[in-house]
């Protein structure tokens, strides 16, 4: 399976520049064009949060217009700059979620599974998985306990050595790892939030083998 990842789009109302200097809308347009022209085509595009900059309906209207041009199936989890209710409503024609409140998703294939977790806490920069999401994760993993699974969320479940970002990572990562320790089929975790590429291996004691963590 081939997966393209976008993250931290930070699209503003009217396509205004982020931080008054970064043309994030133009970056998104170029990224969508690049993905559409990849050969072979990805099976999915997964966007790991911070689609908007303030999470307003006006922002999601701009985002929707650009994401409608994507020619492959899309999956989305929200970030700390998003607002889950506005995201669900604004992008309802493009993506679906598998939890009635939180923006969690699961996609089952014959040989593998993709699973997204909503780590956003509205109004806060840090992330946290709700008790409902953790229960949903355990139930979902348990339905096919032998199927290789790749997890997606916005907030990294680890420290990376950047103090100003480490204080706003996934605050209850141990609760996540406690759920994962009951299974041996999670092959990796993909996150966003840091605006830089980082690959790490951690929590190997849970499985007797390494768990790959990719952060963008």
pLDDT for residue 216 is more than 90: no
Q: What share of the chain is helix, strand, coil (3-state, %, to 5)?
A: 30, 20, 50
pLDDT for residue 209 is more than 60: no
**Residue 181, number of CB atoms within 10 A of its CB:** 13
Q: What percent of the chain has pLDDT over 90?
A: 81
At residue 83, the pLDDT reads: 97
Query: Could you give the number of structural domains in the chain?
Result: 1
pLDDT for residue 210 is more than 80: no
pLDDT for residue 206 is more than 70: no
Rg (CA), the chain: 16
Burial of 197 (0-12, 13-18, 19+ CB in 10 A): exposed
Domain that holds residue 208: 3-215
Span 94-112, average pLDDT: 95
CATH number of the domain bearing residue 76: 3.60.21.10
At residue 199, the pLDDT reads: 85
Higher pLDDT, 8 or 198: 8
pLDDT for residue 87 is more than 90: yes
pLDDT for residue 103 is more than 80: yes
pLDDT tens digits, 5-46: 999 999 999 988 877 788 999 999 999 999 999 999 999 999
At residue 202, the pLDDT reads: 62
pLDDT tens digits, 40-78: 999 999 999 999 999 999 999 999 999 999 999 999 999
In Å, what is the CA distance from 155 to each residue of 9, 10, 90, 138, 178?
Answer: 15, 15, 22, 19, 17
Q: What percent of the chain has pLDDT over 70?
A: 95
């Amino acid at each position: 399976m081939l997966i393209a990842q976008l993250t931290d789009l930070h699209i503003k109302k009217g396509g205004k520049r982020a931080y008054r200097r970064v043309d994030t809308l133009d970056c998104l347009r170029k990224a969508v064009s690049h993905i559409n022209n990849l050969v072979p085509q990805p099976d999915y595009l997964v966007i790991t949060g911070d689609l908007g900059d303030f999470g307003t309906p006006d922002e999601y209207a701009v985002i929707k217009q650009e994401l409608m041009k994507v020619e492959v199936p899309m999956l989305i989890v929200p970030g700390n700059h998003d607002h889950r209710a506005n995201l669900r409503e604004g992008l309802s024609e493009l993506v679906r979620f598998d939890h009635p409140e939180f923006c969690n998703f699961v996609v089952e294939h014959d040989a593998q599974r993709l699973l997204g977790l909503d780590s956003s806490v509205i109004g806060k920069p840090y992330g946290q998985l709700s008790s409902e999401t953790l229960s949903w994760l355990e139930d979902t993993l348990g339905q096919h306990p032998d199927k290789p699974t790749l997890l997606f969320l916005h907030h990294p479940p680890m420290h990376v050595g950047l103090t100003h970002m480490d204080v706003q990572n996934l605050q209850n990562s141990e609760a996540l790892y406690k759920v994962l320790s009951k299974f041996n089929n999670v092959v990796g975790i993909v996150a966003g939030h840091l605006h830089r590429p980082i690959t790490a291996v951690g929590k190997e004691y849970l499985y007797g083998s390494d768990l790959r963590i990719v952060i963008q």
